[in-house]
A and B are shown apart, each in its own frame.
Chain A
């Protein structure tokens, strides 16, 4: 009989201890995570996020950018006057520049368009950085609407020395044409 009560008292300590253990976890958990660094996904194991370096504007040289515009056959006779208001500019690498393309829907139907860019020479393309561009999204034109669409960009100073001129060419197409070619 005595040993029954002894054993009861002995085992009885376990739940009391474990109840305390739960509360002990509050400081221990924080301490353990700090020491082992396991609850900190950001700093412990991920590669540090590369910081964005400020770009030096290279005034020592200039690059000429030409702005071209072409109509795809899907919008021929529907759109007129797709062109840049500035045919070309000359700027230093690192300078941020904005300009506007104009487009007019001459049909009596609403039109959803998509502009597809292309850069020549192609190896200069990766240094031509668009900050904002009407080609990022589809553009909707009401019947007869004339619209000015913005473009903001800079040329990265890393652009090879031998490139003196970049040509940016937009082809404007009906968005329905895009989905058609995508489903092919």
Chain B
């Protein structure tokens, strides 16, 4: 058999049926599976949020018992972080990075298959951890997503399943990240130099580096938790000479950079969407890349601002306060970079652009409350109140989720070969933005008035804002049925998308995806393109 025959052998069409997906090593198929997984988990995590908001509609206990409420809060967070935002961003990376840099596939396709198929396994373990308390598995996990001991060492079997969930999902995202780094370093088309890389690729480069650094630390921390629970060790047990605060340090050493893991892919999408619809090259490409590097570095050394109230010394809190406030410098640089890209541009307002502009406004708002929370004396007041809840939902829903929505609408024509229904897209944008703000804006006031988070009941003085918040929550939740409908409608048919789906797509530092057909062939760039 000649080499050329073997070569041709790789290019047959994918096997039909389930084998195509389970055995897939194709970056497009795996990307699609990542995105579908994220969508399914979003409805699961969103459903939990709906139960939480329904319970908080009025004071008193209506729907769920306190333990179940706190369990829902815990799993809502874990699902949204590990099951929705990270897989959706990884799905986009899988789809887009090889297309953007002119690679035939990811660098390590079999590893890619493993990274994806670990996810449903982790997801199943996570759901099981919620279910076992109902079948004699001990107390449910009520710690919140931070899993702090000693509460987490006392929880029932659900906690062990959750620890394994973290292990599995951690391995999945570490492998995916290594794959992405190797792809970006090794698989760029001739002429695709570092400073010509699309900004989305850069954003994922930093995300992947962060993930490789931080996920193992979380895995280590929960492993110690597992040892404390079953092996009689005392890593976090003061009675045995351990220190529960050590867990907090380890968790947030992972947890704070994790925020940038969620944020950076969306920043990459913004850096792609805004030049396209402003029809101007990205303002300050190099500073933006540098800013992301600075943000990723800074993100590694600010973790203890989540623990101001734990009793650190003045010197330590002072250091963490100053570096935390310093974060507003690279983030501000990004925001200005985007605003100046739009400045005097020939702007049009398609759905991805609407999301991009809304993100700039609402994410900046989260930045401002973030600076408030960074200030130690103020934070001692806000700590563990709904002000924090409002802050991080303003950071993560616009900063991460809406960025991914913008990406979905931006690349749906490329993925499916059909234009989505622009009118429905705009309705979805306004509907979801209204619902989001109605849900989370009043929570700032609740927090400032002292309503604590992670508590099933509240004082009657908080009723009115909670009613508004719950009504907003239902509006926000229902809008996603329209989102699902738009996606299904676009997959099934619609106006044929051009190869270059957007007029301004080739402006600035574009990816090579627009040089391919829409949808791209199953095997693309089998001959490396040359970038001039």
Please give the residue numbers on chain A whose beta carbons come within 8 Å of chain B beta carbons, in ascending order.
Answer: 3-4, 7-8, 11-12, 14-23, 25-26, 29-30, 36-41, 44-45
Those of B206-228 within 8 Å (CB) of chain A: 212-217, 219-221, 223-224
CB pair B313 A44 closer than 8 Å: yes
Given contacts A22-B217, A29-B243, A45-B315, contact A8 B212 (CB under 8 A): no
Can you list 20 A-B pairs with a CB-CB distance of less than 8 A? Answer: A4-B107, A7-B181, A7-B182, A8-B107, A8-B178, A8-B182, A12-B178, A14-B213, A15-B174, A15-B215, A19-B216, A21-B217, A22-B250, A25-B246, A36-B315, A37-B313, A38-B313, A39-B245, A41-B311, A41-B312
CB pair B107 A38 closer than 8 Å: no
Write out, one digit per residue, whether chain B residues 399-439 have a CB within 8 A of any chain A CB (1) or not (0). Answer: 00000000000000000000000000000000000000000
Known: A15-B216, A21-B217. 20 other contacts (CB 8 A): A4-B108, A4-B182, A11-B178, A14-B212, A14-B216, A15-B178, A15-B215, A18-B213, A18-B215, A18-B217, A19-B216, A20-B220, A21-B216, A22-B217, A22-B223, A22-B224, A23-B220, A30-B243, A38-B313, A39-B313
Given contacts A4-B186, A22-B250, contact A38 B220 (CB under 8 A): no
Instruction: Report the separation of the CA atoms of residues A17 and B314 in the bound assembly, to the nearest whole angstrom.
Output: 31
Please indicate the chain B residues that have their CB under 8 angstroms from the CB of A25 in the complex: 246, 249-250
Asked whether any CB of chain A lies closer than 8 Å to the CB of B22, the reply is no
CB pair B214 A39 closer than 8 Å: no
Interface residues contributed by chain B, number (CB under 8 Å): 32
Asked whether any CB of chain A lies closer than 8 Å to the CB of B43, the reply is no
Write out, one digit per residue, whether chain B residues 108-122 have a CB within 8 A of any chain A CB (1) or not (0). Answer: 100100000000000
Asked whether any CB of chain A lies closer than 8 Å to the CB of B488, the reply is no
Given contacts A15-B174, A15-B212, contact A7 B220 (CB under 8 A): no
CB pair A38 B215 closer than 8 Å: no
Please indicate the chain A residues that have their CB under 8 angstroms from the CB of B219 in the complex: 19, 22
Asked whether any CB of chain A lies closer than 8 Å to the CB of B64, the reply is no
CB pair A39 B312 closer than 8 Å: yes
Please indicate the chain B residues that have their CB under 8 angstroms from the CB of A44 in the complex: 313
Given contacts A12-B178, A38-B315, contact A22 B245 (CB under 8 A): no
Those of B362-386 within 8 Å (CB) of chain A: none
Asked whether any CB of chain A lies closer than 8 Å to the CB of B361, the reply is no
Instruction: Report the separation of the CA atoms of residues A37 and B316 in the bound assembly, to the nearest whole angstrom.
Output: 10
The list of the 4 closest CB pairs from A to B, nearest first, reads A22-B220, A18-B216, A19-B216, A15-B216
Please indicate the chain B residues that have their CB under 8 angstroms from the CB of A41 in the complex: 311-313
CB pair B216 A16 closer than 8 Å: yes
Instruction: Report the separation of the CA atoms of residues A20 and B221 in the bound assembly, to the nearest whole angstrom.
Output: 10
CB pair B316 A38 closer than 8 Å: yes
Nearest chain B CB to A20 CB, angstrom units: 8
Tell me which of A11, A14, A21, A29 contacts B220 (CB under 8 A): A21
Asked whether any CB of chain A lies closer than 8 Å to the CB of B238, the reply is no
Please indicate the chain A residues that have their CB under 8 angstroms from the CB of B61 in the complex: none
Given contacts A22-B217, A22-B219, A29-B243, contact A45 B313 (CB under 8 A): yes
Please indicate the chain B residues that have their CB under 8 angstroms from the CB of A37 in the complex: 313
The total number of A-B Cβ pairs within 8 Å is 82
Nearest chain B CB to A156 CB, angstrom units: 34
Asked whether any CB of chain A lies closer than 8 Å to the CB of B151, the reply is no
Instruction: Report the separation of the CA atoms of residues A125 and B254 in the bound assembly, to the nearest whole angstrom.
Output: 58
Instruction: Report the separation of the CA atoms of residues A21 and B312 in the bound assembly, to the nearest whole angstrom.
Output: 22
Instruction: Report the separation of the CA atoms of residues A22 and B217 in the bound assembly, to the nearest whole angstrom.
Output: 5
Nearest chain A CB to B127 CB, angstrom units: 26
CB pair A22 B243 closer than 8 Å: no
Nearest chain B CB to A133 CB, angstrom units: 34
Please indicate the chain A residues that have their CB under 8 angstroms from the CB of B186 in the complex: 3-4, 7
Instruction: Report the separation of the CA atoms of residues A41 and B311 in the bound assembly, to the nearest whole angstrom.
Output: 7
Asked whether any CB of chain A lies closer than 8 Å to the CB of B235, the reply is yes
Asked whether any CB of chain A lies closer than 8 Å to the CB of B185, the reply is yes
Instruction: Report the separation of the CA atoms of residues A52 and B354 in the bound assembly, to the nearest whole angstrom.
Output: 68
Instruction: Report the separation of the CA atoms of residues A97 and B174 in the bound assembly, to the nearest whole angstrom.
Output: 74
Instruction: Report the separation of the CA atoms of residues A109 and B313 in the bound assembly, to the nearest whole angstrom.
Output: 55
Please indicate the chain A residues that have their CB under 8 angstroms from the CB of B185 in the complex: 7
Instruction: Report the separation of the CA atoms of residues A16 and B212 in the bound assembly, to the nearest whole angstrom.
Output: 9
Nearest chain B CB to A51 CB, angstrom units: 23
Nearest chain B CB to A38 CB, angstrom units: 4
Please indicate the chain B residues that have their CB under 8 angstroms from the CB of A12 in the complex: 178
Instruction: Report the separation of the CA atoms of residues A24 and B440 in the bound assembly, to the nearest whole angstrom.
Output: 40
Please indicate the chain A residues that have their CB under 8 angstroms from the CB of B216 in the complex: 14-19, 21-22
Write out, one digit per residue, whether chain B residues 148-174 have a CB within 8 A of any chain A CB (1) or not (0). Answer: 000000000000000000000000001
- Kindly report which residue of chain A lies nearest to residue B182, judged by CB atoms: A7
CB pair A19 B313 closer than 8 Å: no
With a 10 A CB-CB cut-off, give which of A36, A38, A40 has the most chain B CB atoms. A38
Instruction: Report the separation of the CA atoms of residues A4 and B188 in the bound assembly, to the nearest whole angstrom.
Output: 12
Given contacts A7-B186, A15-B215, A30-B243, contact A23 B315 (CB under 8 A): no
Instruction: Report the separation of the CA atoms of residues A18 and B107 in the bound assembly, to the nearest whole angstrom.
Output: 23
Write out, one digit per residue, whether chain B residues 224-251 have a CB within 8 A of any chain A CB (1) or not (0). Answer: 1000000000010000000101100110
With a 10 A CB-CB cut-off, give which of B220, B221, B311 has the most chain A CB atoms. B220
Instruction: Report the separation of the CA atoms of residues A21 and B111 in the bound assembly, to the nearest whole angstrom.
Output: 25
CB pair B249 A11 closer than 8 Å: no
Please indicate the chain B residues that have their CB under 8 angstroms from the CB of A40 in the complex: 313
Please indicate the chain B residues that have their CB under 8 angstroms from the CB of A14 in the complex: 212-213, 216
CB pair B107 A29 closer than 8 Å: no
Nearest chain A CB to B276 CB, angstrom units: 32
Nearest chain A CB to B300 CB, angstrom units: 11
- Kindly report which residue of chain B lies nearest to residue A7, judged by CB atoms: B182
